[in-house]
Structure 1
Amino acid sequence: MNDVKFMLDSLWVIIAAILVIGMQMGFALLETGSIRAKNAGHVAGKQILSFAIASLAFWAFGFAITFGNGNGFFGVHGWFLGNEKAFDSVSWMNIPLSIKFLFQLSFAAVSLAIAWGGFAERAKLVVYFIFGILFTVLIYPVVGHWVWGGGWLAEMGMQDFAGSTVVHLQGAIAALIATILLGPRIGKFNKDGSPNTIGGHNMVYTVMGGFILWLGWFGFNAGSTGGTADGFFGYVALTTNLAAAAGAIAALLTAMAMSRKADIGAMVNGVLAALVAITASCAFVAPWAAVVIGAVAGSVTYWTSVYFEKKGIDDPIYAFSVHGIAGVIGTLSTGFFATKELAVVGKPGLFYGGGLHQLGVQALGIVTAAVYVAIVSFIVLAILKATVGLRVKAEDEMAGLDIAEHGAYGYPETFETGKNQNQNKAL
């Protein structure tokens, strides 16, 4: 029976890892559809580069810093996965170390993909290389160790089952810092500060990307059970799906109330915000609470995306609202809704007789993680800005990053045809 359990658990977690890695396809479609056609190839190709960078950096250093034996702040053993006995924090998972690594790598890669949302349509390609490595080595693993690697927040009983803070808030804070340091895209704001709409070029891509992410989230959350015992992964999948459905409807209704339009992009972001929010609490809350959490996240995220844009922040993919604000909502939600029966980590929430203790732990985790990521991201990006530069030249931004950075258009038939027509007119 132990052999059977080992094989079933290993099979389930590797399937979950593949689902989460598949989310990179979702991000590629979502982001490509949400930006202009002249940058489509660049944004899509960036996802492959991002996953490649994360894979090597997390294998060499990131996994050891996150889960390696060490102190309350970071791991100091297990570089290059060289010592299987160096990872006590994940010893509860009865599966091979290689599968543990692939599963956790998929999370680190998602966090990096979220961060790239703040760079969209104006960052130099070289920045992706340098910041991608440093994010995967210096930023993501440290907070990951605090919460999941036996660090100081884990000892306090912080509840973040699959990463509302560890994965999503970290990526969102990095995206926000990048957005601020890069500045808005050309033409985004008028002289009086009022925003102009820079629409994405393919809403179908955006919707398909959102649906792929929804599917991948079953690996994200349900896979974090680490095995098949008692079928609990099915319960986690249930709460995840209920939250996503509630987020879609709540966001669409909020958009209709605020703009008088049934905004499809807002609905997709509502799904993602709800999934981000339920990620921390999916194993700790009742199904009805999952619906509430998803609906609140979907609705609030639409409002904050409009609010931040009015304040002069050009976040092309709304990364901070969808992953940051929703990450905060999700992390705090366990402090309210964690049940006595399900709170195997930490204590029950306020509504289940646990008082304010767990809510305080959750809030502390949010603040410290956000401050750490903001400071380190700012230092790294400020140094890059002063040396290699963060932003492409204005003429390259106007031409599009496809041709400026890669020498080829993502849609050559469209752009080359227009170019040839202009040349013929000139002749």
Structure 2
Amino acid sequence: MTTAALSAGLDTTWVVLTAAMILLMEGGFALLEAGFVRHKNNVNIIMKVFADITIGTLCFYFIGFGLMYGADFLGLIGTNGFMLNGNLSHLKFSISLDTLWLFQAAFVIAVVSIVSGAVAERINFRAYLLYVVLMTAFIYPIAGHWVWGGGWISKLGMLDFAGSAVIHALGGFSALAAAILIGPRKGKFTSGGTSSIALPSNLPLASVGAFLLWFGWFGFNAGSTLSATDERIGHIAIVTMLSAAAGGAVTMIYTLFRYNRSDAPSVINGSLAGLVGITAGCAFVSDQSAILIGAVSGLLMMAATNWLEAKRIDDPVGAFPVHAVSGMWGTIAVGLFSTDGGLFTDGGWHLLGVQLLGLAVLCAWGFLLTWFGLKIIRLWIPIRATEEEEEVGLDISYHGIMAVHRSREFIKYEGPYTQIQQDDFDD
């Protein structure tokens, strides 16, 4: 076996393993979001994650990958590579095309899962399925082409190593558009503007979800080298750890002194904010910069959460504060702290300008395409659950079963689970 063949084999093994780690993050999303919402909507959260994985994977295979990595047309879209067919010789990777697809498929699933949390407990499940198609086949792949597929933003020199902008900021602003358009949960805000709190159903479950996301993030960031022999892997891993720790520590201390208690949901989201913040610059910034990036991400997440409440925007899991705001900061931080071209480290303004331009375009793209996409979807299907469905819970309304119940007897019925009625459950 030649050295080149051995290196290619190692790279393939590395990328497949890290893709699997990223896919495991869907378990993290499922547990995190299920723990943050009420019991009557737990199954709906899980089903939306399965929709992300199943429908999203197929859409990316048939359409999305070609738009993202196909031969460039005017810097805007890819034009071939659909179903992994066609001449893709312009892609210069040591890994196979199949391996690259698998890694990016795990990414696209993560993007749409961000939106899932922001519209939890009130989106019509059928409308959500159509939105999954829109995001995984068009919104994310086209934006990904601009930055990672040889499109116009990449030609300007934007740096987004693992997706603070392409994945998190875009996904977070898509989530904001969806949350605004669908509206808050029933009872969340009073007519006088007072905000009510729906207590999380299971914070230990949410924390396990956060730990799974944290674990998967090492694949998210370090796997983006697409090479097992890249000397930056160790550095990427340590700055990922440091930023997440700084985000969680800052929110822990902040809530302790601000509210005289250390708030568990805030600490969970603070750690995730640190992970989002370092995703763009994990290969470009120092350890010390990573700590600062993570700490600022945690504080910005808290500020954005308060902003949402003031604007009467309902985001049950904090998708916008964690992903959009921290993703924006992480993208800008590359322009400030990159060891090559950063304003504070190398005295250059160009990179910062490119980062700001690319970020603005990606955020606007996610927000506007989601806004108009959902408006089009609701011409055929209501995008919001009815008041009755929301009151009963989306688990029973859309899936015919609850995550937690106390019935000790067999339920006598004929047909699938969807025929079970709420009264059949002794809860």
The question of a shared fold, defined as TM-score above 0.5 by the shorter chain, is answered with yes
Contact 1:255 1:302 in 2 (8 A): no
Matched to 1:13, the amino acid is: V
Contact 1:33 1:201 in 2 (8 A): yes
Summarize deviations over 1:25-78 as a string: whole Å, max 9, x none: 000000000000001111112211211111000001101111111220110111
The superposition leaves residues 156-214 of structure 1 with CA deviations (integer Å, 9 ceiling, x where unpaired) of 10010000011111111111111011111011011211101112100001100000000
Q: 1:385 to 1:94 in 2, by over 3 A?
A: same
Deviation at 1:129, TM superposition (A): 1.4
AA aligned to 2:225 is T
Q: Summarize the alignment of residues 229-308 of structure 1 with structure 2, pairs less than 5 Å apart.
A: 229-308=229-308
Residue 40 of structure 2 aligns with an amino acid whose one-letter code is K
* TM-aligned CA deviation for residue 419 of structure 1: 5.1
Paired with 2:407 and 2:312, the residues of 1 have a C-alpha distance of 32
* Residue 403 in structure 1 maps to residue 405 in structure 2: no
Q: CA 1:288–1:415 in structure 2 vs 1: closer, same or farther (change >3 Å)?
A: farther
Q: Equivalents in 1 of 2:72, 2:426: separation in Å?
A: 63
Structure 1 residue 387: deviation in Å?
2.6
Q: Give the counterpart letter for 2:403 in structure 1.
A: G
Contact 1:350 / 1:356 at 8 angstroms: preserved in 2?
yes
- Show the counterpart of 1:133: 133
Aligned equivalents of 1:107, 1:23: Cα separation in 2: 10
In structure 2, relative to structure 1, the CA distance for the partners of 1:75 and 1:188 (3 Å cut) is same
TM-score (structure 2 length as normaliser): 0.93
Letter of the aligned partner of 1:69 in structure 2?
A
**Counterparts of 1:232 and 1:377, CA distance in 2:** 36
Letter in 2 for 1:138: F
1:369-408 → structure 2 map (5 Å cutoff): 369-408=362-401
Counterpart for residue 345 of structure 1: none
Letter in 2 for 1:378: W
Residue in 2 aligned with 1:34?
Answer: 36
> How far has the Cα of 1:414 moved from its partner?
6.9
The separation in 1 between residues aligned to 2:425 and 2:144, in whole angstroms, is 53
1:413 counterpart SS class: coil
2 CA distance for matches of 1:212 and 1:254?
Answer: 24
Please point out which of 70, 78, 88 is paired with 1:68: 70
SS of the residue 1:268 aligns to: helix
Deviation (angstroms), 1:301:
0.3
C-alpha deviations, 1:330-380, integer Å up to 9, x for none?
Answer: 00001100003xxxxxxx100122422111110101111111222211111
Give the partner amino acid of 2:369.
V
Which AA in structure 2 matches 1:28? A
Structure 1 residue aligned with 2:60: 58
- Correspondence 1:80 to 2:73: no
Contact preservation (8 Å) 1:38, 1:401 = yes
For the structure 1 residues 206 and 415, does the alpha-carbon distance in structure 2 shift closer, same or farther, using more than 3 Å as the test? Answer: farther
The aligned residue for residue 13 of structure 2 is 11
The one-letter code sitting in structure 2 at the alignment partner of 1:19 is M
The equivalent residue for 1:153 is 153
Distance 1:230 1:152 in 2: 26
Shift of 1:420: 7.0
Residues 415, 163 of structure 1: CA spacing in aligned structure 2 closer, same or farther, 3 A cutoff?
A: farther
Quickly say closer, same or farther: Cα 1:87–1:331, change in 2 above 3 A: farther
Cα distance in 1, alignment partners of residues 291 and 170 from structure 2: 24
Count of residues in correspondence between the two structures: 413
Distance 1:123 1:138 in 2: 21
**In 2 relative to 1, CA 87–19 (structure 1 residues): closer, same or farther, beyond 3 Å?**
farther
1:322 pairs with 2:322: yes
Q: What pairs with 1:72-111 in structure 2 (closer than 5 Å)?
A: 72-83=75-86, 85-86=87-88, 88=90, 90-91=91-92, 93-111=93-111
Determine if the alignment matches structure 1 residue 313 to structure 2 residue 306: no
Distance 1:324 1:290 in 2: 18
The equivalent residue for 2:50 is 48
Q: Which one-letter code corresponds to 2:184 in the other structure? A: P
Map of 1:413 onto structure 2: 406
Whether the aligned pair in 2 keeps the contact of 1:118 and 1:319 (CA below 8 Å) is: yes
CA 1:87 to 1:221, structure 2 compared with 1: closer, same or farther past 3 Å? farther
Contact 2:177 2:368 in 1 (8 A): no
Say whether residues 1:362 and 2:355 are aligned partners: yes
> Over the residues paired in the alignment, what is the CA RMSD in angstroms?
1.8
- Given that 1:67 and 1:87 are in contact with CA atoms closer than 8 Å, whether structure 2 keeps it comes out as no
Q: How far, CA to CA, are the matches of 2:112 and 2:51 in structure 1? A: 11
For residues 408 and 69 of structure 2, what CA distance do their matches in structure 1 show? 48
Alignment correspondent of 2:416? none
Aligned to 2:182: 182
Structure 1 CA distance for aligned equivalents of residues 89 and 307 of structure 2 = 43
CA contact (8 A) 2:60 2:136 kept: yes
**Structure 1: 5+ residue stretches without partners:** 341-347
Deviation of 1:131 (Å): 0.7
What residue is the counterpart of 1:202 in the other structure?
202
